[in-house]
């Protein structure tokens, strides 16, 4: 497996995050919800989301994100974006797509805010640790969010190893619409939730918030 590290929206990968306070000044519950993008936050397409005009936030997603923030979760988007290294479009186009997503989520609900956006620009043949079903993006999210939350400077690693990770909160979870998402979550040892891509995050929001729900299990 190649140690091709994830990329991060409008920042160097291991920059600290200036984390926003939680609603009602509650404290972080110690857990991170890792979210796939297409089919979870927005309507997906077999031909990719190629520009901001093609991005359509699924109904109820902003409200679901706000519920998670009001429950003390940090949120990390982890999305495969191989069109970049396939040469279909570039990092700047993805930045524009994500800027529209950020704006529309906040417009729908002021508390619908993602703490960190990570993406893998790598094609399958590059065998990157960052491309799901591998867990590199989740590993990076764990390091960046925990370090930032604890006011520690993020260590700028050249690779990703499990020995670098902070202990995950028991309520941490990976949410996706494909088996590769579930495999990435299992590899990272967090709960996993498989959604209907026509519904997205609202399909499983109550399950995520249920402390007794252990998530979906790969057959």
Q: Is 38 known to be catalytic? A: yes
Q: Is 15 known to be catalytic? A: no
CB 127 within 8 A of CB 139: no
CB 137 within 8 A of CB 120: yes
Among 15, 18, 36, 109, the one annotated catalytic: 36
Among 15, 38, 115, 213, the one annotated catalytic: 38
CB 62 within 8 A of CB 112: yes
List own/partner pairs for 50-56 with CB under 8 A and 24 or more apart. 50/83, 50/88, 50/89, 50/93, 51/89, 51/93, 51/96, 51/97, 52/96, 52/97, 52/99, 52/100, 55/97, 55/100, 55/101, 55/104
The catalytic residues are: 36, 38
């Amino acid at each position: 497996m190649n140690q091709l590290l994830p990329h991060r929206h409008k920042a160097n990968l291991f920059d600290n995050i200036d984390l926003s306070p939680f609603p009602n000044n509650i404290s972080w519950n110690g857990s991170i919800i890792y979210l796939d993008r297409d089919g979870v936050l927005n309507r997906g397409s077999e031909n990719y989301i190629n520009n901001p005009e093609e991005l359509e936030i699924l109904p109820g997603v902003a409200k679901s994100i706000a519920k998670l923030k009001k429950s003390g979760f940090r949120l990390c988007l982890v999305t495969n974006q191989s069109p970049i290294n396939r040469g279909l479009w570039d990092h700047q186009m993805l930045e524009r797509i994500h800027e529209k997503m950020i704006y529309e989520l906040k417009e729908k609900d002021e508390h619908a805010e993602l703490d960190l956006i990570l993406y893998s620009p790598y094609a399958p043949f590059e065998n990157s640790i960052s491309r799901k079903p591998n867990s590199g993006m989740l590993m990076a999210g764990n390091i960046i969010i925990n370090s930032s939350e604890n006011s520690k400077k993020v260590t700028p690693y050249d690779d990703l190893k499990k020995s670098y990770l902070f202990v995950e909160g028991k309520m941490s979870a990976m949410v996706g619409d494909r088996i590769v998402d579930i495999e990435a979550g299992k590899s990272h040892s967090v709960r996993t939730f498989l959604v209907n891509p026509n519904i997205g995050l609202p399909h499983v929001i109550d399950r995520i918030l249920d402390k007794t729900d252990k998530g979906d299990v790969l057959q």
